[in-house]
Each structure stands twice: as C-alpha cells, then as structure tokens.
Amino acid sequence: MTSEGVDGKSPVYKERLWPSLGMWVFAFIMTASLGIAYGRAYGSDLGIVVGISTSLAVALGIVVNTPLIQVDELNFRADRARLPLQYVGQIKQLDNVQSRRARSTDANSNAYFQLRGGIKNSVIIEVTDPEDPHPYWQVSTRRPAELIAALVTVKNQ
C-alpha cells in the first residue's frame, strides 16, 4: 500500500514551524516603512492604505507558507513532502551545534531539508526507500523528543 501524496486520518503529532517574533517584527517594520514612504510621497491616506494592505499581505504570506510537520498512521510529513512510515529508518536528534553542522559542512547535497531559521534543534530521519534519491531528511523542530516518540510509536504499530 502506497501513501504518497495522501495524509492519514489520525495525526499523532503536528507542529507548525512558525517564524520567530523577530521575523514578524522585521516584516511589520518593512511594511510600515513602505507605507510611510508612500505617505510622504503621495499623501498620508495612500500611505495608510499601502502600509495596512502590505502588512496584511505579508502576514498572510507568512501564515500560508509556514511549514507543517506531521506524523499520522501513514506518513511523516514535512510541509508538502511525505515519507511513508515504512521507509523511515534511524532517527537522530540534533542539538544546536549538531544541527548547524548537519545543514552546512556535514550536509549531503542529496538530502531533503525542511529547515526554519530561529529553530535551533533538528531531527535527521534516514530514508530506507531504495528508489528515493534522498538518503535522509533533516527537519527543524521545537519539540524533537515528541517528534521522535511519535515516529517510533506509529512506525512500530
């Protein structure tokens, strides 16, 4: 039974990799600056409209593009990519230093990465599917122990 492209019905772990508070503040400052620039050049009414509309558009873009990490009875999902649980191999939790090395100097160029700046921990999941070009996935997570526990529990059922 293949489960590629289909989510299971019973998620046992879900995590959104929301941007840090600093990213939200940066986005607001940039869109407010755009509104101020338009307001100075074309009048305050247009500046307010541009500032509010760009702030809303950027916030919507951030929310829509925030990746979902999920484990269900069929797959391990990292954003749009799905790995059927039957192909989940060894799992390794990485701390901040290990995560940084694993995504830079020690990285395999064929690996699948779902990384989010500002999230220090990550997990490496070995891919055992011989047809898959990715030897492993490296995924950022704020709750690595819970993610690993969910993967191990569901895989062993």
**Taking the domains of the chain in order of start, what are their residue ranges?**
21-64, 68-155
**Reported confidence tier of residue 131, pLDDT bands at 50, 70, 90:** very high
pLDDT at 60 over 90: yes
Give residue 2's pLDDT: 52
The H or E element that residue 69 is part of is: strand 68-71
pLDDT per residue over 14-50, tens digit each? 999 999 899 999 999 999 999 999 999 999 999 999 9
Q: CA 20, 23, 25 angle in degrees (round to 5)?
A: 110
User: Which pLDDT value is given to residue 4?
Assistant: 58
Which region among 2-6, 37-41, 91-95, 97-101 has the lowest average model confidence (pLDDT)?
2-6
Q: pLDDT value at position 96?
A: 87
Amino acid 36: pLDDT: 97
